[in-house]
Every structure is written in C-alpha cells, then in structure tokens.
C-alpha cells in the first residue's frame, strides 16, 4: 500500500518538475491557457467523475468569474491576487445559487436545469454593459503580484499560474481522498443507499457543486489574467460541451485524466491546421489539408470515438492496462 | 565514389543557393527586413458563422496579392511568406494565435480579423508587440475610436459608414419614416442608433423599434409590429442569419409590397443565399462590388475560378490591404512597424478595391462606399449579377468625420 | 380597445402567430418526445436531423427536381433510414450504460453532421421557395396571414394527432410502450423488440426531418438552423414531461403562444422565456407537466 503511495508521490514530483521546466521549451502563453482549462476540467471532473452529476452549464462559472475578475482589476484597480479571489468568490456564489436550484433533481433533469440557468446567464452577459457584450471585456491589465512582482513578463506569470494550478489540483485531490470524497463516491454509486445510511445527500451534493464552481471560477479568473480579456465564448454552451469533451477524453473519475484531456483538446484547437498539413504531407491525401477548416468535425469525431470505444478515456485506459499487466 | 562526389556537389549547390540569393538581395539593396522575410498572417473564421465572408477566401485573396506583387517586381521582390489560421470566432483562440505568430514566428502583419471581439483583442496585442493590424473584416467603430492605436488600420467598413450610407441615401430619396428591427446586442444597438441619428438629421422620423434576441428563429411577430407602425422604411439593424430570415419573412408577409427594406449590414453572400426573388429591391451600402469596373471584374473572375463564388468586400479588402502593405515596405525600405505605418498613412490608395482611399490619423482607411440596390430577377443577366450601383458615397462623407473621432491619436 | 398598451387587433395577430409557431414547436418536439419517452435515449441529434430534412428537400429540388410535395414524404424517409442506420450501428451499444453516453454520442454526431454540411455548402444557407400552391396571403381581418403558415399549422397538428393516436390508442403503440417498459417479457411473446426500437427511432428522426421540410421555405436552409432550436426543443420536451407525447404537443403550443405574447411586451426576452419556464416547472413539478418520473 505504502509502495504505491510512494510511487504516486514520485510521479507527482516528476510532473511538477516537468511543469516547471516546460516554459523553456514550449510557448508559455499556450501552456498557461492549457493549465487554466486543465484546472477547469479537473473541477468539472469533481462533479461528474466523483459525484456522478453531469452539469451542462459549467461555462457559466468559468465566464462569470472571468468577467468579475476583469471588472475588479480593470475598473476597481484591485491587484491581481485580489482580482482572482473576487472571481472565485463570484463563481462560488453563482454555484450556490444554481446548485441549490438544480440539486433537487437528478440525471437528465439536473443537466437540463444547469443548461437552462447557464443560458439565462449567457443572455444576461450579452446585454449587460459591464461585459462589453459581444466585443468582450478588453484591456484587463496584469498588474503586480503582491505589489512588486511584475506579471507582464510571460515567464513570471507562468510560474504564478502554475502555482495556482497546483494549488487547485491539490484542493481537488484532497477533497477526493478525504471522507467527504468517499461520501461523494458513495452517492455516485448508489444514492438511495447513501441516504439510508444517514448522510444528508443534498448537502454533500451542493457542497461538491459549489466547490466545483469555485475552482472553475479560479480557472476562469486566471485565464482572464493571462489573456487580458474576457468574451462571451466563455459563457456559451459550447464551452460547457468542450469541458465535457476534455474530461471524457482524458478519463472521467481519474485524477489526471482531465489534465491530459484539456491539453490534448487545446493543442488540437491550436494546431489543427498544421496537423492537417502534416497528415496531408505524410499520406498524400489532399483532403486532410482541409481539416484545418473543420475543428467541429474533428471534435465531433473524437466525441463519437470516445463514447463508443474509449469510454474510460486515455488515462482510464492506461490505468486499466496497467492493472491488467500487474494481474 | 562518383555518387558521393555528386552528392557533395549537389549539397554545395543547394547550400550556395540561399546564400547567393541573400547576397544578391543585399547587393540589390532591398529593404531591411526583420529576420529577412516579411510574414503576413490571415486570421479569420474558417469554419463558423463568418466563414463565407472571410475564411479560405481571405487566405486566397492574400495569396493572390502576394503573387501579383512578386510578378510586378519581376522576381526582385523581397521574401514574403503567408500564414493563415482559424480563430473559430473565439477571441481566446484568435489572441493566442496572434501572440504565437508575433512571439515565435516573426509575423509582421495580421489581416482580416473579422469578428469584433477578436479584432479588439488582437489590436491591443499588436500595439504591445509593435506590429501591424490591417483589419478588413470587423465592424466595430471602437477600432478607430476608444480602442484606436497607432498600429491598427481599419480598412474596409464599419457600422457608421454602413448606417450613414444607407440611411442618408434613403432619407434623401423620400423614405422619411422609419421603423427598426434590431438585434438585441451592442452591434445591433449601435447600428440602430447610428442610422436613427442620420435619419433625424436628414429630416426623417423614427416611428419605433423592436429588439429581437440574437439568432431568433422566427421574425413574423416582429415584422407584424413593423407593419402596424406603417413606416415607409423598415431598417434591419442585424446581421447574418437574422437579416436573411427577416428578409425572407418580410417577403412572405407581404411587407415588401407596401414598405421598403433597408439592410444595414448585408453582404453579397447573403443575397446569394437568399436569391433575387426574395431580396429584390432592397437598398444596402457596400464597400466594393465585383462588377463595378474592369479591374474589379478581373479580380472577381480570378477569385471565382478557385473559390466558385464571388468575393465579398472583406476578401477584396484583404487583397488590397496586403498590396498596400507590401508597397509601403518597398517604399519605406524596412518592415519596421512605425516606419511602415508612417508610409501607409502617406499613401493614396487607388486600386481595384478602393477609389480615393487614404488612411487617417485614427487608423481609419476612408474610401468611396457605394449605395446598392438588389436587382429584380429579370434584370440579372448572369450569375452573381445582383446589384445596381445607385450612388457613390464619396470617401469624405462616408465615414465618421475625424473631428468627431474619440481616438486619442487625433489632434483636436 | 387596448390590453396593456397593445391594441386588440394587434394582439389577435400576435396570438395567431404564436399559434403558428407553437404548432411548429409541437411538431419538432414530437420526435424527441417519442425517442426519449419510449426509448429513453437522449437524442441530441434532433436539431441536426431537422437540418438534414431541410437539406434533403433542397438537394431534392436542386439536383433532382423533386418538388415540395414529394419531398414531404421522401425527405423524412431518407433521413429516417439514416437515423435507423445510426441507431443500429452506434446507439445500440449504449443502451446498457448511463443515459449520459447517449447524450454525448449524439452531441458528437451533431457536431460532425453540421461540420460536414457546412464544409460542403458553406454557412450562409440556400434558398428554398414556397411551393406555388401555397403562395400568397389571406386577409383574416386583423392581419394578413401567409397561406403557407396556415398550412404549417394544419400539417403539424395533423401529424401530431396522428402520432399521438398511433402510440396511445393502437395495438402497435401498445406493443411499443410495453416493449420499452419490459423488453424481455415482450420479446418472450414473440415480438421483435430490437427491430421495433430501431423503427421507432427512425420514426422519431423522420418526424424531425418532416419539420425540416416544413421549415425550409420560411427559415433559411443553413447548417446551423438546428443548433439554434435544439435547446428550445429540449426545454419543451422537459417541460411537457419526458415520457409524454401529449405533454410535448400541448407544451409546444403553449410555449408558442407565451413566446408570442413575450414578443409583444418584452421582445428582448423572447428567447429566454422558455428557460425561465423550464426552471420553474422543474422546481415545482419535477417530472414535467404531464410526465411520469421513471
């Protein structure tokens, strides 16, 4: 038991080192974006993978937090770390409101309520003056962390973002491994049973929902800090679908799955044109060149393949393979 | 042994080639270029809502411009490279791509950038990195007002020029009473208010307006309200699918029999998908039409061979923007952004796209705009023969006067 | 006479338009209600097959010269067969799993279908004319109603009633309902349940495609026409009660009318009013207005 514990500690240490060294090799802005989405996917996974609740409106938390953070830093002149807290708090509050309404129902009804409420938020953001509507909230400054660390430098910002990601990831990991996490898993497996054992199931679900929302908000605020703007894309239901894809592709209910999924989807999004060129050059099939125009088709195809053949996701399949080899 | 020798000789020849060309270029005294090449990036929507307006067509237009420039220079042109990317209508992706292009691939100029959210974030970034953005596709006037920058050029159109052109012309032509069908978001509101101002100044009257949600699927109810108002003109302050559906429904409900429609943002691709039967008679303002003179026809036909459709003003604008940029580099002798911008602002732009064009201090490229009317099906003699040019709106009148610009670069 | 500032004549006009839209919503949600109610599949492709129905009509017209009236039968048939192929090859494997996977698969299929149609036809859309027999409009006193819209009401309600009757009142419908509640038992009676399921799915898809053909002359035929409507359709089915055919028909009609009223008094909110209603209904009556929670 302790043996495997040691191994995962070494594994994590290795990943941290990888993370620290990455910006020297890969483009820091892309890495930061991917890390934000990885945190978003991990937060989402807390809900779907560990509590068994599919929320189809998680974009609301990502986007709303981003807007709140943007307003705090751009118009109220707050320092970035306070801005992040404002964003996270806004998302947590929104999570509490949406969660308490949605928790009353289960399964598809739960998903539909989250979708409906997220759509209402989308229309609100479209109208509201402070969001800038479809032009977006632009020109959010990076500012100085703690008053003296200049975040304008991409590399400095990267380490800050990485630290935030590690923090968020640890919170999730801790939540999963704790008694609280065990109850969540029990709820996912058999809710009536958990109820009969005396657990206040609704309270646990709500808490998980708010935690997931808050961390999604942290991801959204951080993303706004990195890119310097926030737009309606982040509150649109396509974004909610994208995070489902990331988690599904990486592996629902695994710890690292969402991170892997997020990185793959983001890489795909950015590189699909070049990927198409590569395939076309290698195989000589000219049609591949046009997949650069077709992110939607490729995304759809990945969804379909994952659901049909690859349900455990990449990390899930790897774990299953590993276990098979051991046995 | 012989093979090895040949291989070595070939290798040397290959290695020598770039050296000699660089040598030749240095000898010829060509422009001093950052990392020796001019890179142009076409950042557009390849697969989403605006892919017909820009997309692969914009990339083609840019390529044509580069090829034509090289041909004109008879092989003595400096090295030019083209890259293109799909921003998928997401400002995240657009800004990320632009950043990567500037930081890691040495892109010197970005063009197209349709979708205002993308354009605004890329404009900010471009100013930070001291490159150039020649935006042909976005509509927001913010690019040359609140968010103007010394490194942005807004090349083709904006909401003001469209509203102004159509509104003015129709009011002068007798359409005094207006009712607006407005898409309920910032773009729709600004289009409505710009046109309403023009109408009032021209002596007309706004009888009312109804705001519909974005991407509404059915317009019958709103059009009924327009009919009840008995206004002479129904202004469509919306775009894309909303405009198309509004026009279709207006026809269906017989609105076009007693009232006239004014499309405030309509592209030739919209007319193509509507068909002349439905769209006939509508007035709109456009920045360019393929059939307006011999040069534009030539360009249109060349473009059509590859894309199987005629270019929109955005795609024609990309061609012109790239050509203007390359000419500016040639004249300035460098691709340094400040020098090239200064040069571009001195140039008079007269090509197949723009007549009497020049770039103002606020980055606005002003050029003649055109009031068009959609032909009746019987008047259309060949494919894509859709418009009659009713009037030319001279450059000086078409755009927001410099004195009213909110741009900080404009000396008041 | 005025109601809250709107003249009565104008109100009648808006209500009539609301009825027209409502019957269309009812027609569109019917297929989804059949598929979810009977098969427990959350079919996200509903919007995409609606779009395919419209494109089938367009392609029929432009490539084969098939007119509107034959297209009303042929397009749903073609798209329905396509739906059955999907059910047979892909959806069938997911029945044993959580509903979630069906939702995700059909979501992925929707993206693929929309992307493919877009890459072939572009995003602006294609023209499709109103059939000659239905051109023109009739003056009904308080407004001029286009004949085609009147036809939409008639066709939608006819199909809705027919479907409801078949499922709730005939033997075939009874087999279907029994087969989905207790497949093993019904199978033991000698009825081929998997075949029935496939045919039902095909029927649900065909209903959506039929709605697509109905819509083609009035809404621009473009790849994204389904994605704008899909969420509203889901909301209608959820409000009506996911097991209930009658529920979605009545909700569709009701929603059309409520939306129509909203368009008069507060038009900006007419897209969101359905979500507000859905949220309220789900809070108060979780299984929907007419549904039975499973």
pLDDT tens for residues B70-99? 998 887 788 999 999 888 888 888 888 999
Full residue range of the structural domain in which residue A259 is found: 28-326
A147 has a pLDDT exceeding 50: yes
Number of Cβ within a 10 Å radius of residue C279? 21
What is the predicted pLDDT for the residue at B304? Answer: 94
pLDDT tens, residue by residue, A308-326: 888 888 888 888 888 888 8
A10 within a domain of the structure (yes/no): no
A319 within a domain of the structure (yes/no): yes
A327 has a pLDDT exceeding 80: no
In which order are the strands placed within the sheet that holds B177-183?
Answer: B205-212, B177-183, B233-237, B260-263, B283-286, B369-374, B387-393
What is the predicted pLDDT for the residue at A148? Answer: 82
E-only strand ranges, chain C: 2-3, 6-7, 137-139, 144-146
Calculate mean pLDDT across residues A157-174.
93
A23 within a domain of the structure (yes/no): no
Calculate mean pLDDT across residues C37-45.
81
Calculate mean pLDDT across residues B222-227.
90
What is the predicted pLDDT for the residue at A52? Answer: 85
Closest CA to C130 of B278, A58, B379, A229: B278
Q: Where are the alpha helices (DSSP H) in chain A?
A: 2-21, 28-48, 59-74, 80-102, 107-127, 154-177, 179-189, 191-196, 201-227, 237-250, 257-283, 295-309, 313-326
Closest CA to A45 of A260, A295, A317: A260
A316 within a domain of the structure (yes/no): yes
pLDDT tens, residue by residue, A64-92: 999 999 999 999 999 999 999 999 999 99
Of the residues C28, C135, C263, C273, the best mutation for testing chain B's interface (the one with the most B CB atoms within 10 Å of its CB) is C263
Calculate mean pLDDT across residues C183-206.
86
The angle formed by the CA atoms of residues C222, C45 and B53, to the nearest 5 degrees, is 25
A38 within a domain of the structure (yes/no): yes
Closest CA to B322 of B121, B106, B60: B60
- Between chains, do B241 and C224 touch, taking CB under 8 Å as contact? yes
Calculate mean pLDDT across residues B255-265.
89
Query: Could you say which DSSP state residue A292 is in?
Result: G
pLDDT tens, residue by residue, A185-239: 898 888 888 889 988 889 999 999 999 999 999 999 999 999 999 999 899 988 9
3-class DSSP string for chain B: CHHHHHHHHHHHHHHHHHHHHHHHHHHHCCCECHHHCEEEEEEECCCCCCCCCCHHHHHHHHHHHHHHHHHHCCCCCCCEEEEEEECCCCHHHHHHHHHHHHHHCCCCEEEECCCHHHHHHHHHHHHHHCCEEEECCCCCHHHHCCCCCCCEEECCCCHHHHHHHHHHHHHHCCCCEEEEEEECCHHHHHHHHHHHHHHHHCCCEEEEEEEECCCCCCCHHHHHHHHHHCCCEEEEECCHHHHHHHHHHHHHCCHHHHCEEEECCCCHHHHHHHCHHHHCCCEEEECCCCCCCHHHHHHHHHHHHHHCCCCCHHHHHHHHHHHHHHHHHHHHCECCHHHHHHHHHHCCECCCCCCCEEECCCCEEECCEEEEEECCHHHCCCCCCCEEEEEEECHHHHCCCHHHCCCCCCCC
Rounded to a whole number of angstroms, the distance from the CA of C192 to the nearest CA of chain A is 25
Residue B121 is encoded by which pair of tokens? 């974030």
The partner residue sitting opposite B241, judged by closest CB among C20, C127, C220, is: C220
CA A218 to mean position of chain CA atoms: 10
A282 within a domain of the structure (yes/no): yes
Q: Is B390 exposed, middle or buried (0-12, 13-18, 19+ CB in 10 A)?
A: middle
Q: Which residues of C touch B (CB under 8 A)?
A: 10, 13-14, 17-18, 20-21, 115, 118-119, 122-127, 129-130, 137, 143-144, 146, 148-149, 218-220, 222, 224-225, 228-229, 260, 263-264, 267-272
**Rounded Cα–Cα distance for residues C282 and A101 (Å):** 9
B372 has a pLDDT exceeding 70: yes
What is the predicted pLDDT for the residue at B28? Answer: 45
3-class DSSP string for C21-56: HHHHHHHHHHHHHHHHHHHCCCCCCHHHHHHHHHHH
The answer, for C104 touching chain A at a CB cutoff of 8 Å, is yes
* Mean pLDDT, chain A, integer: 87
Tell me if residue C126 falls in helix, strand or coil.
strand
The DSSP bridge pattern shows strands B260-263 and B283-286 to be: parallel
A14 within a domain of the structure (yes/no): no
Rounded to a whole number of angstroms, the distance from the CA of C1 to the nearest CA of chain B is 15
A270 within a domain of the structure (yes/no): yes
What is the predicted pLDDT for the residue at C293? Answer: 55
Q: Which residue of A has its CA nearest to B115?
A: A135
Please, are residues A99 and B151 in contact by the beta-carbon 8 Å criterion?
A: no
What is the predicted pLDDT for the residue at B88? Answer: 84
Rounded to a whole number of angstroms, the distance from the CA of A293 to the nearest CA of chain B is 5
Q: Which residue has the higher pLDDT, C271 or C112?
A: C112
Number of Cβ within a 10 Å radius of residue A186? 18
What is the predicted pLDDT for the residue at A291? Answer: 62
**Rounded Cα–Cα distance for residues B40 and C184 (Å):** 65
Global pTM reads 0.86
Give residue C284's pLDDT band: very low, low, confident or very high (50, 70, 90): confident
**Rounded Cα–Cα distance for residues A237 and A57 (Å):** 6
Contacts of B100 in chain A (CB under 8 A): 27, 29-30, 270
What is the predicted pLDDT for the residue at B286? Answer: 92
- Between chains, do B273 and C125 touch, taking CB under 8 Å as contact? yes
- Between chains, do C220 and B244 touch, taking CB under 8 Å as contact? yes
**Number of domains comprising chain A:** 1
**Rounded Cα–Cα distance for residues C46 and C29 (Å):** 9
Q: Which residues of A touch C (CB under 8 A)?
A: 54, 101, 104-105, 107-109, 111-113, 115-117, 119-120, 123, 127, 237, 241, 244, 248, 290, 293-297, 299-304, 306-308, 311
Calculate mean pLDDT across residues B262-284.
89
Query: Could you say which DSSP state residue C285 is in?
Result: S
What is the predicted pLDDT for the residue at C2? Answer: 66
Give residue B152's pLDDT band: very low, low, confident or very high (50, 70, 90): very high
Calculate mean pLDDT across residues C107-131.
87
- Between chains, do C112 and A296 touch, taking CB under 8 Å as contact? yes
* Strongest mean pLDDT among A37-46, A118-127, B44-53, B389-398: A37-46
Q: CATH number for the domain including A123?
A: 1.10.3470
Going from the C-alpha of A109 to that of each of A43, A115, A265, B336, C240, the distances in angstroms are: 21, 10, 28, 58, 12
Q: What is the ipTM of this complex?
A: 0.83
The partner residue sitting opposite A107, judged by closest CB among C99, C234, C278, is: C99
Closest CA to B289 of B161, B392, B172, B160: B392
Beta bridge partners of B41: B83, B110
C119 has a pLDDT exceeding 70: yes
- Between chains, do C271 and B214 touch, taking CB under 8 Å as contact? yes
How many cross-chain Cβ pairs, B to C, lie less than 8 Å apart? 107
């Amino acid at each position: 038991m302790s043996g495997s514990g040691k191994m995962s500690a070494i594994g994590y240490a290795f990943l941290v080192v990888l993370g620290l060294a990455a910006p020297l090799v890969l483009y820091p802005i892309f890495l930061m974006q991917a890390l934000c989405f990885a945190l978003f996917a991990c937060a989402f996974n807390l809900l779907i993978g560990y509590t068994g609740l599919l929320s189809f409106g998680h974009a609301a938390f990502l986007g709303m937090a981003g807007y709140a953070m943007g307003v705090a830093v751009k118009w109220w002149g707050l320092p970035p770390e306070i801005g992040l807290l404002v964003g996270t708090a806004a998302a947590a509050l929104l999570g509490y409101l949406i969660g308490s309404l949605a928790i009353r129902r289960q399964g598809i009804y739960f998903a539909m309520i989250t979708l409906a409420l997220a759509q209402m938020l989308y229309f609100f953001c479209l109208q509201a003056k402070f969001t800038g509507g479809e032009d977006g909230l632009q020109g959010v400054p990076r500012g100085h962390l703690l008053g003296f660390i200049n975040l304008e430098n991409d590399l400095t910002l990267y380490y800050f973002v990485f630290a935030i990601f590690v923090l968020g990831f640890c919170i999730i990991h801790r939540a999963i491994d704790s008694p609280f996490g065990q109850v969540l898993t029990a709820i996912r497996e058999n809710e009536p049973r958990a109820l009969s054992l005396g657990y206040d199931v609704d309270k646990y679900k709500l808490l998980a929902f708010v935690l997931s929302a808050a961390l999604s908000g942290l991801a959204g605020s951080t993303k706004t800090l990195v890119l310097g703007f926030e737009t309606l894309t982040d509150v649109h239901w396509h974004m909610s679908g994208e995070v489902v894809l990331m988690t599904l592709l990486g592996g629902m209910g695994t710890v690292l799955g969402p991170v892997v999924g997020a990185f793959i989807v983001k890489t795909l999004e950015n590189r699909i044109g070049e990927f198409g060129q590569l395939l076309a050059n290698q195989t000589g099939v000219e049609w591949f060149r046009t997949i650069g125009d077709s992110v939607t088709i490729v995304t759809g195809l990945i969804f379909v393949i994952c659901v049909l053949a690859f349900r455990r996701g990449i990390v899930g399949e790897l774990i299953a393979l590993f276990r098979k080899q051991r046995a | 042994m012989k093979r090895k020798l040949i291989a070595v000789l070939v290798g040397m020849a290959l290695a020598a080639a770039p050296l000699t060309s660089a040598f030749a270029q240095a000898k010829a005294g060509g422009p001093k270029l950052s990392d020796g090449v001019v890179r142009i990036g076409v950042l557009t929507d390849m697969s989403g809502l605006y892919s017909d307006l820009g997309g692969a067509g914009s990339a083609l237009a840019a390529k044509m411009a580069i090829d034509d420039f090289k041909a004109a220079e008879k092989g003595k042109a400096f090295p030019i490279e083209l890259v293109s990317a799909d921003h998928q209508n997401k400002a995240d992706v657009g800004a990320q791509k632009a950043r990567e292009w500037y930081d890691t691939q040495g892109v010197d100029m970005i063009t197209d950038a349709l979708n205002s959210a993308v354009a605004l974030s890329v404009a900010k970034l471009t100013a930070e990195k001291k490159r150039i953005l020649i935006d042909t596709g976005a509509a927001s006037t913010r690019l040359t007002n609140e968010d103007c920058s010394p490194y942005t050029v807004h090349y083709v159109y904006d909401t003001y020029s469209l509203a102004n052109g159509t509104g003015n012309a129709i009011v002068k032509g007798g359409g005094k009473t207006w009712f607006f069908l407005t898409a309920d978001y910032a773009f729709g509101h600004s289009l409505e208010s710009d046109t309403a101002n023009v109408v009032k100044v021209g002596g007309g009257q706004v009888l009312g307006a109804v705001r519909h949600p974005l991407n509404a699927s059915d317009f019958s109810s709103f059009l009924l309200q327009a009919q009840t108002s008995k206004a002479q003109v129904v202004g469509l302050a919306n775009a894309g699918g909303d405009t198309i559906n509004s026009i279709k429904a207006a026809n269906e409900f017989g609105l076009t029999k007693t009232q006239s429609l004014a499309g405030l943002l309509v592209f030739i691709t919209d007319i193509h998908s509507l068909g002349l039967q439905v769209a006939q008679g509508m007035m709109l303002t456009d920045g360019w039409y393929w059939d307006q003179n011999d040069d534009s026809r030539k360009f249109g036909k060349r473009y059509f061979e590859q894309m199987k459709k005629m270019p929109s003003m955005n795609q024609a604008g990309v061609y012109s923007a790239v050509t203007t940029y390359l000419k500016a580099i040639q004249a300035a002798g460098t691709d340094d952004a400040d020098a090239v911008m200064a040069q571009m602002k001195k140039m008079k732009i007269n090509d197949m796209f723009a007549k009497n064009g020049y770039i103002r201090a606020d980055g606005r490229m002003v050029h003649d705009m055109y009031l068009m009317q959609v032909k009746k099906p019987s008047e259309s003699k060949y494919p894509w023969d859709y418009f009659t040019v009713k009037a030319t709106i001279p450059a000086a009148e078409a755009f927001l006067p410099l004195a009213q610009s909110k741009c900080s670069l404009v000396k008041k | 006479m005025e109601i809250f500032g709107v003249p009565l004549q104008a109100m009648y006009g808006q209500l009539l338009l609301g009825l027209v839209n409502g019957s269309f919503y009812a027609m569109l949600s019917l297929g989804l209600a059949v598929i979810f109610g009977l098969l427990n599949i959350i079919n996200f492709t509903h919007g995409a097959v609606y779009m395919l129905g419209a494109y089938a009509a367009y392609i029929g017209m432009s490539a084969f010269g098939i007119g509107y009236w034959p297209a009303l039968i042929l397009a749903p048939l073609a798209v329905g067969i396509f739906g059955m192929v999907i059910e047979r090859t892909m959806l069938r494997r997911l029945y044993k799993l959580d509903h979630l996977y069906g939702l995700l698969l059909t979501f992925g299929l929707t993206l693929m279908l929309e992307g493919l149609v877009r890459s072939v036809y572009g995003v602006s859309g294609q023209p499709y004319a109103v059939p000659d027999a239905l051109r023109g409009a009739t003056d009904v006193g308080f407004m001029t109603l286009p004949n085609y819209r009147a036809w939409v009401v008639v066709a939608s309600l006819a199909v809705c009633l027919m479907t409801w009757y078949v499922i709730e009142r005939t033997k075939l419908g009874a087999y279907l309902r029994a087969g989905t509640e207790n497949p093993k038992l019904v199978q033991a009676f000698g009825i081929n349940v998997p075949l029935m399921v496939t045919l039902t799915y095909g029927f649900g898809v065909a209903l959506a495609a039929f709605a697509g053909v109905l819509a083609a002359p009035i809404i621009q035929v473009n790849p994204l026409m389904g994605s704008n409507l899909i969420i509203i359709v889901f909301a209608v089915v959820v409000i009506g009660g996911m097991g209930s055919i009658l529920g979605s028909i009545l909700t569709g009609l009701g929603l059309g009318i409520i939306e129509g009223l909203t368009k008069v008094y507060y038009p900006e909110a007419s897209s969101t009013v359905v979500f507000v209603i859905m949220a309220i209904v789900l809070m108060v009556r979780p299984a929907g207005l007419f549904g039975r929670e499973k």
